[in-house]
């Protein structure tokens, strides 16, 4: 890789942080890892799960974003650089940082079918969520559903908006939980720093 | 806990999620309180927290209307909100504040310039983040500053806010280093959560903030005097509960109360504070300022109010100039500076950056943590030195 890898950490909250890279890690796809075993074969996720004492529970990779979830309340500032180093190490390696997703063998009794959930969430987004955010010039794209967790990306007026987190938690997440209780959570993979036309400015100060 | 977020402009989800989102008129605190009373019939409210100067008054009105038990009176919140009312109240109580006088915007500037003492500071009554605050050292500067302030106060989004936008204060300039005090009031007692030094001199002519570093390097005796003045000020204003952010100057005559607000530190700066607490079953953990504020508002037990042992600091990144932001270079290099923990660029590409005194938004924040305040301050400066903001001229 010719250009130096730049990574910017954007903590969402105590337990979730997005790492924005200046290079694509996984073009046109999304992968979610929920354990070290799950990460086997994908060095980027393997490296992050291997960070001792970090309490990593989830790694989501999409485009130039790596979203990391942990159960340890320690500030992101303490392990952010370690995670950045783990990402750089994986990208510099000979092996692809993220392995292609293998088709899962048919399960005997799937408790939740992600494909069915995807269709239901997509319908909710199309019929209810997107008409609402469109009033502020916004858009919500459903990226994927994995193990009942919804991955979405905000666009237009929602990208970089100072109220994006309120929209996400008080609006979209609440609607999802009411309409589709099987949904276990949502992951926002938006690069908010790149939002060029947010409906509300990010902060006064 | 269940959360309802109130805002001045309606969320597009409000009708779909009526328990989660509420639109209130922050310009009419009593009207807002009446709306919340109706809302609370279906959705009981356990506590209310304002997040800025305006909503601190609205929160006080709501807390009083709902008899929540924890909160300030509306009159106390208003006294903190309006700089003239605050000055009058504090001066009457013997709290050291700059000499001041109130003037209508229409008053003849040249005539007034001949009567005021120099150096002085022209100050709007309610704008935040030192917007519109200008120092003048002589009559000609005063006239220029008053004209500049008039243009700010006559901007439509300011002028519509009320009669206060037709007046301004002229204050004595108080020399000396400035500190910021972050506190939590519990039943009238001020708990000082952090005392920040502001190592960059704030001598004007404009008063854009830059670095905050805690713990303070002021001598302990002076720190004690600062705490006492802040306690005296909140008592004089009648504030009882919730967050307090105060700014004081210290010189050979002692501490001077420059500003006090019944709200937490602004923007993202609260992230610089962490509190260590021990919780049953969880061992040691860290609590944020927001957690302390929410717990207090809800009447829940408060964890330790002791800030972590390490030094910490934040730089509100100065506006690099007037223009439209295209990109920010050097973020990764700035993050690589030892002790730097986060670089948060909050301005977005395409955003117009407006320098002080007309401007009031910082383009971002740098956070650092280390063993000493001096090391933290050096790290903040080094990181800032690696950032390069690419601007384009503003098109007419």
Under an 8 A CB cutoff, do B128 and A195 touch? no
Domain tally, chain A: 2
> Which residue range is the domain that position A82 belongs to?
7-92
Tell me the C-alpha distance between A48 and A82, whole Å: 8
Question: Quick one: pLDDT at residue B235?
Answer: 97
Q: Are B32 and B26 in contact (CB under 8 A)?
A: yes
pLDDT tops 50 at residue A139: yes
Q: What pTM did the predictor assign? A: 0.81
The yes-or-no answer to whether B178-298 and B311-392 have a common fold is yes
Q: Which CATH code for domain B311-392?
A: 3.30.470.20
Under an 8 A CB cutoff, do B21 and A166 touch? yes
Q: Are B167 and B102 in contact (CB under 8 A)?
A: yes
Under an 8 A CB cutoff, do A174 and B17 touch? yes
Under an 8 A CB cutoff, do B348 and A202 touch? yes
CB nearest B332 (choices: A6, A174, A200): A6
Please state the rounded mean pLDDT for residues A170-179: 92
Asked if B11 reaches chain A (Cβ–Cβ under 8 Å), the answer is yes
Please state the rounded mean pLDDT for residues B283-309: 86
Tell me if A104 is assigned to some domain: no
Where exactly are the structural domains of chain B?
A: 5-78, 99-172, 178-298, 311-392
Q: Which CATH code for domain B178-298?
A: 3.30.470.20
Please state the rounded mean pLDDT for residues B370-389: 97
Please work out, in degrees rounded to the nearest 5, the angle formed at the alpha carbon of residue B237 by the alpha carbons of B301 and B164. 120
Please state the rounded mean pLDDT for residues B311-337: 94
Q: What is the DSSP string of B130-141?
A: TTT-EEESSHHH
Asked if B268 reaches chain A (Cβ–Cβ under 8 Å), the answer is yes
Last residue of a domain, one of A58, A92, A126: A92
Same domain, A61 and A119: no
Asked if A76 reaches chain B (Cβ–Cβ under 8 Å), the answer is yes
What is the CATH architecture assignment of B99-172? Answer: 2-Layer Sandwich (3.30)
Asked if B361 reaches chain A (Cβ–Cβ under 8 Å), the answer is yes
Tell me if A105 is assigned to some domain: no
Under an 8 A CB cutoff, do A9 and B335 touch? yes
pLDDT tops 70 at residue B283: no
Instruction: Tell me the percentage of chain B whose pLDDT exceeds 90.
Output: 78
Tell me the C-alpha distance between B50 and B33, whole Å: 13
Q: For residue B7, what pLDDT band results from cuts at 50, 70 and 90?
A: very high
State the average pLDDT for chain B: 93
The full length of chain B comes to: 396
Residues of A in contact with B9 (CB under 8 A): 200
* Substitution target from A130, A170, A178 for chain B, most B beta carbons within 10 A: A170
pLDDT tops 70 at residue B88: yes
Question: Quick one: pLDDT at residue A1?
Answer: 47
Chain A, 8 to 67: residues with Cβ < 8 Å from chain B are 8-11, 14
pLDDT tops 90 at residue B186: yes
Closest approach of A135 to chain B, Cα-based (Å): 7
The interface pTM score, or ipTM, of the predicted complex is: 0.71
Backbone angles phi, psi at A164, to 5 degrees: -60, -40
B254-261 sheet: strands from edge to edge? B254-261, B242-251, B178-186, B189-198, B211-214, B311-316, B364-370, B340-345
pLDDT tops 50 at residue A205: no
Same domain, A140 and A183: yes
For residue B102 the two structure tokens come to: 């109130």
Residues of B in contact with A172 (CB under 8 A): 13
**Would you call A167 helix, strand, or coil by DSSP?**
helix
Residues of A in contact with B5 (CB under 8 A): 166, 170
Tell me the C-alpha distance between A174 and B16, whole Å: 9
CATH number at residue A77: 3.30.1370.70
Q: For residue B100, what pLDDT band results from cuts at 50, 70 and 90?
A: very high
pLDDT tops 90 at residue B379: yes
Q: Which of A12-16, B191-195, B327-331 has the highest mean pLDDT?
A: B191-195
Closest approach of A193 to chain B, Cα-based (Å): 6
Under an 8 A CB cutoff, do A174 and B346 touch? no
User: Using one digit for the tens of pLDDT, what is the confidence trace for B195-212?
Assistant: 999 999 999 899 999 999
Please state the rounded mean pLDDT for residues B289-295: 92
Question: Quick one: pLDDT at residue A104?
Answer: 59
């Amino acid at each position: 890789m010719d250009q130096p890898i730049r990574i910017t950490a954007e903590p969402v909250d105590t337990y979730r942080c997005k790492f924005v890279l200046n290079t694509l890690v996984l073009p046109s796809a999304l992968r979610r890892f929920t354990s070290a075993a799950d990460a086997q074969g994908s060095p980027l996720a393997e490296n992050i799960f291997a960070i001792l004492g970090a309490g990593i529970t989830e790694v989501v990779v999409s485009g130039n974003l790596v979203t990391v979830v942990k159960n340890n309340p320690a500030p992101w500032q303490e392990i952010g650089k370690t995670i950045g180093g783990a990402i750089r190490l994986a990208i510099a390696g000979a092996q692809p940082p993220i392995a292609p997703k293998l088709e899962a063998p048919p399960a005997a009794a799937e408790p939740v079918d992600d494909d069915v959930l995807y269709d239901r969430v997509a319908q909710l987004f199309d019929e209810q969520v997107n008409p609402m955010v469109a009033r502020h010039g916004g858009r919500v794209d459903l990226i994927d559903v994995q193990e009942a967790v919804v991955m979405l990306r905000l666009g237009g007026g929602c990208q970089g908006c100072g109220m994006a987190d309120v929209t996400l938690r008080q609006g979209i997440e609440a609607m999802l939980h009411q309409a589709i209780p099987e949904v276990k959570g949502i992951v926002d993979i938006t690069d908010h720093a790149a939002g060029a036309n947010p409906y509300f400015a990010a902060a006064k100060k | 806990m269940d959360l309802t977020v109130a805002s001045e402009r309606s969320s597009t989800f409000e009708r779909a999620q009526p328990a989660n989102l509420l639109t209130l008129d922050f310009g009419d605190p009593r009207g807002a309180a009446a709306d919340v009373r109706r809302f609370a019939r279906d959705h009981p409210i356990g506590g209310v927290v304002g997040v800025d100067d305006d909503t601190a008054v609205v929160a006080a009105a709501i807390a009083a209307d709902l008899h929540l038990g924890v909160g300030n009176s509306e009159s106390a919140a208003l006294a903190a909100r309006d700089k003239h009312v605050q000055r009058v109240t504090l001066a009457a109580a013997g709290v050291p504040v700059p000499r001041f006088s109130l003037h209508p915007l229409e008053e003849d500037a040249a005539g007034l310039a001949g009567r005021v003492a120099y150096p002085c500071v022209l100050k709007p009554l309610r704008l935040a983040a030192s917007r519109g605050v200008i120092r003048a050292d002589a009559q000609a500067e005063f006239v220029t500053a008053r004209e500049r302030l008039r243009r700010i106060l006559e901007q439509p989004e300011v002028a519509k806010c009320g009669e206060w936008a037709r007046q301004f204060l002229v204050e004595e300039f108080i020399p000396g280093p400035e500190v910021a005090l972050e506190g939590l009031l519990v039943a009238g007692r001020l708990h000082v959560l952090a005392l920040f030094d502001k190592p960059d001199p704030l001598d004007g002519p404009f008063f854009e903030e830059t670095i905050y570093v805690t713990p303070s390097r002021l001598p302990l005796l002076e720190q004690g005097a600062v705490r006492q003045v802040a306690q005296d000020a909140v008592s004089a204003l009648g504030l009882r509960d919730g967050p307090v952010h105060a700014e004081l100057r210290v010189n050979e005559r002692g501490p001077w109360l420059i500003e006090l607000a019944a709200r937490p530190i602004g923007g993202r700066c609260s992230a610089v504070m962490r509190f260590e607490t021990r919780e049953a079953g969880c061992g040691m953990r860290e609590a944020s300022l927001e957690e302390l504020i929410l717990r207090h508002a809800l009447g829940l037990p408060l964890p330790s109010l002791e800030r972590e042992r390490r030094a910490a600091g934040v730089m509100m990144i100065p506006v690099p100039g007037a223009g439209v932001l295209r990109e920010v270079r050097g973020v990764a290099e700035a993050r690589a500076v030892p002790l730097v923990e986060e670089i948060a660029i909050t301005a977005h590409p395409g955003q117009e950056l407006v320098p002080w005194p007309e401007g009031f938004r910082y383009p971002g924040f740098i956070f650092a943590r280390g063993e000493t305040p001096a090391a933290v301050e050096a790290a903040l400066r080094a990181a800032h030195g690696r950032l390069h903001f690419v601007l384009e001229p503003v098109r007419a």
